[in-house]
Amino acid sequence: MAKRILITGAAGFLGSHLCDRFIAEGYYVIAMDNYITGDPKNLEHLESNPNFEFVEHDITEYIDIKSDLDYILHFASPASPIDYLKIPIQTLKVGSLGTHNLLGLAKAKKARILIASTSEIYGDPLVHPQTEEYYGNVNTIGPRGVYDEAKRFQESMTMAYNRFHGLETRIVRIFNTYGPRMRLNDGRVIPAFMGQALRGEDLTVFGNGSQTRSFCYVTDQVDGIYRLLLSNYELPVNIGNPNEITISDFAEEIIKLTGTTQKVIYKDLPVNDPLQRQPNIDKAKSILGWEPKVNRAEGMEKTFAYFKSLTQEQLHKSEHKDFTNYNK
């Protein structure tokens, strides 16, 4: 019989690509999402697949799965600053209550669980590039703390279940990932730049543009996660592309790629925005035999082709929902 896997946050950008990968690998996938930031369209192509089922549910509430489970992937969480600044309480709850519920489910089902952590646990790093042994430089009471600390708590809770209950756990620290199905207006730099280019707007750089990012194409990220889940390694592993670029240089790359004539404009840097972000992937290389294969030029072409395929209505309308009722 096919191995059974529960994927939370399945209607999101990365969650939906994970559903695709595990379906392709012969798994039976139970996808779970409450659509706070996910998009049903990301999973439409799987609806008729006999090895796929969808459950609409908020994981901060009790999770009832009747069938057996072999694996759980916990990817439910707002991941964009625009989202988690609008729904800070929900962000904290999904990282704490949601994680607790899923760890309890994994324990009850005797399932291995992989949780999605983030490079944001390193905060505005004082070590560069960032290794898994670096503890981070995070402002716990800053506006970004709701996301950063939710993920840091999530890691601590996961390791507590691992050590106290003997639960099989895995932790992936995800660095900037991009590709088709990103939300155009989610506030992250790649969809922001490409959306502005397609709408004929100037590209907005926050700060002086000297801050750096490292971008990993989604298929590479998914492959790293897949390998980590099936590995025997229980401590956190960075998965990302170490090819670093300044935001100013990246804006020029986007202008060249899109063939637009807009200029770059500069605005104030947001509070606690990290100035450097680059993964050390030595562990991923040695333990998982993984490293990224898709270079930035190839990945950006594929991503831009996806955004170009959107309708003018999709390009111009806001995709943000009113999250007021979730701030409880």
Catalytically active residues are 147
* Three-class secondary structure assignment of the chain: CCCEEEEECCCCHHHHHHHHHHHHCCCEEEEEECCCCCCHHHHHHHCCCCCEEEEECCCCCCCCCCCCCCEEEECCCCCCHHHHHHCHHHHHHHHHHHHHHHHHHHHHHCCEEEEEEEHHHHECCCCCCECCCCCCECCCCCCCHHHHHHHHHHHHHHHHHHHHHCCCEEEEEECCEECCCCCCCCCCHHHHHHHHHHHCCCEEEECCCCCEEECEEHHHHHHHHHHHHCCCCCCCEEECCCCEEEHHHHHHHHHHHHCCCCCEEEECCCCCCCCCCCECCHHHHHHHCCCCCCCHHHHHHHHHHHHHCCCHHHHHCCCCCCCHHHCC
* Encoded tokens for 304: 């831009």
Q: Note whether 234 and 172 are within 8 A (CB).
A: no
Residues comprising the chain, all counted? 328
- Across-strand partners of 117? 173
Classify the C-alpha dihedral 35-24-114-101 as positive or negative. Answer: positive
